[in-house]
Structure 1
Amino acid sequence: MTKPLIFITGFIMLCVIVFASWSTFETLWRFNHKNNELTFMGSSGWQWHNKSQGLQIKRVDGYLPAMRKVSDSKEYASLISITESGNYRGFIFFDQNCEEGAIVSERVTYSAAEPPKLEVLHCLHGKLVYMKNWTTAPTERWRGRVGDFEFDEALNEWDFTPLQQAYLKSVAELI
């Protein structure tokens, strides 16, 4: 009777140890995987602004900050900054190497309500990038397809407060 009890106790302890080890490994893997987004495409200096939403922020002395989010597919990163004139600039950096300065893909879109629009993918810092400007904080879902590259980002869920505060601070004048 003692041997089966020892065997059963040992088996249960082994199962507990395996389960605990697997849970620890999985937790550490998720943590490391999420933090790898801070260095996506070799970038550095990014910090979490809202980790649950995947929003990152980068502050560099002498410059206005930028915010970005790495896509779930890890195929691109959406980046929004605010210019010194208060406009918003959007960039979609695709994880695709290219020759610096090249215009890689272009297409003309036609709409009954708007004049023809040329969409271009540029090569910036060795990565393909699509750009757009807004006069106010973007509040829409930014999606598109240029050449073989597609993106979809819910900018209406982003909190642009840090960009707006930095901009207002940069243009404030003491009276």
Structure 2
Amino acid sequence: MLLQADFNYRERGMATMLWTAALDARSQGKPIASRIGLEADAHRFDGQTHMWEVVMAAHHVQPLSCVLIDKAQFLSKEQVWQCARLVDEGGIPVLCYGLRTDFQGELFSGSAILLGIADALIELKAVCHCGRKAIMNLRVDDDGGAVKAGVQTEIGGNGRYVALCRRHFTEALNG
């Protein structure tokens, strides 16, 4: 969805700036890549990146029509507020894409702040194997078993995480 939004802006001759989390170093090519093969270059943010300063510096060189952020759950509280300032004071729309909760059902800190202050929230639907809306992300081990403890952030692809409805997520953790 992020890449589609970026395409829509660029198709109309509008400049965008793409961001993704520096901690996701899986990509050998472009830092933002979709499961269907689309990809794009992006700046990488870490805990030290000052979003307001970097984006506004670029905006003064070439006016930006939109900032798009992938893996926004990894933004810090300060960075989320800097993004809000880009919208409110800089006049630049900021579209954030990311997960709401981790593999234990806990909010990511960046997601918690975004949920609290975002102008609008649009939930993208994922589907559980039962056909219900998948709102949880189960981390699985090499044998497909549920991982119940560990660090909040472990980068992995489709084979490391499974999107499930709350019922099947809970069953997997308790099973």
State the TM-score, normalizing by the size of structure 1: 0.24
Report the structure number with the largest CA radius of gyration.
1
Q: Comparing both structures, which one devotes a greater share of its residues to strand?
A: 1
Greater length-normalized contact order (CA 8 Å, ≥ 6 residues apart): 2
State the TM-score, normalizing by the size of structure 2: 0.24
